[in-house]
Chain A
Amino acid sequence: MPSKRIFDRIDSIQLRGVTKKYEGRFAINDLTLDIEGGEMLILIGPSGSGKTTTLRMINRLIEPDSGTIHINGQDIIELEQVSLRRNIGYVIQNIGLFPHMTIAENIGLVAKLEGWDKEKISERVKYLLDFVSLPSEMFMNRYPHQLSGGQQQRVGLARALVMDPPLLLMDEPFGALDPILRKQLQEEFCIIREKLGKTIIFVTHDIEEAFKLADRIGIMDDAKLVQIGTAEELIFHPANDMVASIVDTGKKFKHLDTLRIRDLMTPLDNKYVHAASLAVDEAIDSMLAKDIELAVVSNGNEPVGIVRLPDLMRLGETSDTIGDHAVSVPSFASDELLEPSLKDLHEKGHSIAFVTDNGRISGFLFPNDVFRQLV
Chain B
Amino acid sequence: MVTIETILGHTGEHLVLLLTTLFVSICISLPLAFASLYSKRVGYVIMKFANLAQAVPSFAVVAIVVPLIGIGFYPALIAILLRALLPIIKNTYIGLSTVNASMLDYADGIGLNKWQILRYIRLPNAYPAIFAGIKFASILINSIAILTAYIGSGGLGELIFDGLVGFNNEKILAGAIPAILIALTLDVIFTAMEKKLVPDYRK
B-contact 0/1 string along A154-170, CB 8 Å cutoff? 00000010000000000
Inter-chain contact B108/A61, CB cutoff 8 Å? yes
Q: Which residues in A have their C-beta under 8 angstroms from that of B107? A: 98
Is A109 in contact with B120, judged by CB distance below 8 angstroms?
yes
Assess the B111–A82 pair: CB atoms within 8 A.
yes
- A90 / chain B contacts, CB cutoff of 8 Å: 106, 109-110
User: A110 contacts which of B103, B111, B201, B202 (Cβ < 8 Å)?
Assistant: B111
Task: Please report the C-alpha to C-alpha distance between residue A230 and residue B61 in the assembled complex, in whole angstroms.
Answer: 74
Cα(A99)–Cα(B203), bound, Å: 10
In whole angstroms, how far apart are the Cα atoms of A95 and B107 in the complex? 11
Contact (A99, B110) CB under 8 Å given A92-B102, A109-B120, A113-B116 = no
Residue A212 at the chain B interface, CB threshold 8 Å = no
A95 near B103 with CB under 8 A, answer yes
Residues on B with beta carbons closer than 8 Å to the beta carbon of A143: 199-201
Query: Which A residue sits closest to B201, measured CB to CB?
Result: A143
Question: How far apart are A124's CB and chain B's nearest CB, in angstroms?
Answer: 15
What is the number of contacts between chain A and chain B, taking CB atoms within 8 Å?
Answer: 60
* Distance to closest chain B CB from A159 (angstroms): 8
B199 touches A96 (CB 8 A): no
- The answer to whether A85 touches B110, judged by C-beta atoms less than 8 angstroms apart, is yes
Q: A270 to B105: give the CA distance in the assembly, Å.
A: 55
Distance between Cα atoms of A243 and B201 in the complex (Å): 45
Contact across chains for A113 and B112 when beta carbons are under 8 A apart: yes
A99-B201, A145-B202 as given contacts; A110 in contact with B110, CB under 8 Å:
yes
Assess A98 versus B203: contact at CB under 8 Å? Given A85-B111, A86-B111.
no
A47 within 8 A of B: no
Q: Does A81 contact B (CB under 8 A)?
A: yes
CA distance A90 to B105 in the complex (A): 11
Residues of A contacting B100 in the complex (Cβ-Cβ under 8 angstroms): 95
Which size class do A's interface residues fall under?
Answer: 20 to 34
Check if B199 sits within 8 Å of A100, measured CB to CB: yes
- B interface, how many residues as a size bin? 20 to 34
Q: Mark B84-112, 1 if CB is under 8 A from A, else 0.
A: 00000000000000001011011111111
Q: Which of B156-185 contact A (CB under 8 A)?
A: none
B113 within 8 A of A: yes
Partner of B106, one of A86, A96, A113: A96
Bound: A82/B117 CA distance, A: 13
* A3 cross-chain contacts in B, Cβ below 8 A: 111
Find A145's partner among B110, B116, B201 (CB 8 Å cutoff): B201
Chain B contacts for A160, CB-based, 8 A: 110
Cross-chain contact B102 with A95 (CB below 8 angstroms): yes
Contact B102 A100 (CB under 8 A): no
Query: Given A95-B103, A99-B201, does the pair A82, B108 have CB atoms closer than 8 Å?
Result: no
User: Is B105 a contact of A61 with CB atoms below 8 Å?
Assistant: yes
A contact residues around B121 at 8 Å (CB): 98
At the interface, yes or no: A59 with Cβ under 8 Å from chain B? Answer: yes
Contact code string B135-154 (vs A, CB < 8 Å = 1, else 0): 00000000000000000000
Interface membership of B124, Cβ < 8 A: yes
A18 to B28, CA, bound (A): 47
CA distance A225 to B112 in the complex (A): 31
Are B105 and A100 in contact, with the CB atoms below 8 A?
no
Closest to A61 in B: B109
Which residues of B sit under 8 angstroms from A96, Cβ to Cβ? Answer: 102-103, 106
Chain A residue, CB-CB nearest to B119:
A113
Q: Could you say which residues of chain A place their CB within 8 Å of the CB of B113?
A: 82
Q: How far is the CB of B145 from chain A (nearest CB, A)?
A: 34
Which chain B residue lies CB-closest to A81?
B111
Q: Mark A1-36, 1 if CB is under 8 A from B, else 0.
A: 001000000000000000000000000000000000
- Whether B58 sits at the interface, judged by CB under 8 Å, is no
Contacts of B111 in A (CB 8 A): 3, 81-86, 110, 113
- Give the residue name and chain of the A residue nearest to B203 (CB): A145
- Min distance, Cβ A185 to any Cβ of chain B, angstroms: 19
Tell me the nearest residue of chain A to B108, going by C-beta: A61
Answer yes or no: B54 CB below 8 A from chain A CBs: no
Does B51 sit at the interface, judged by CB under 8 A? no
Closest to A96 in B: B106
Q: Given A86-B111, A143-B199, are A100 and B106 also a contact pair (CB < 8 Å)?
A: no
Contact with B along A92-105 (1 / 0, CB 8 A): 10111011110000
The 6 tightest CB contacts between A and B, nearest first, are A85-B111, A143-B201, A82-B111, A100-B124, A90-B109, A86-B111
**Could you list 5 further interchain pairs (A-B, Cβ under 8 angstroms) beyond the known A96-B106, A98-B107, A100-B125?**
A82-B111, A92-B109, A98-B121, A143-B201, A145-B202
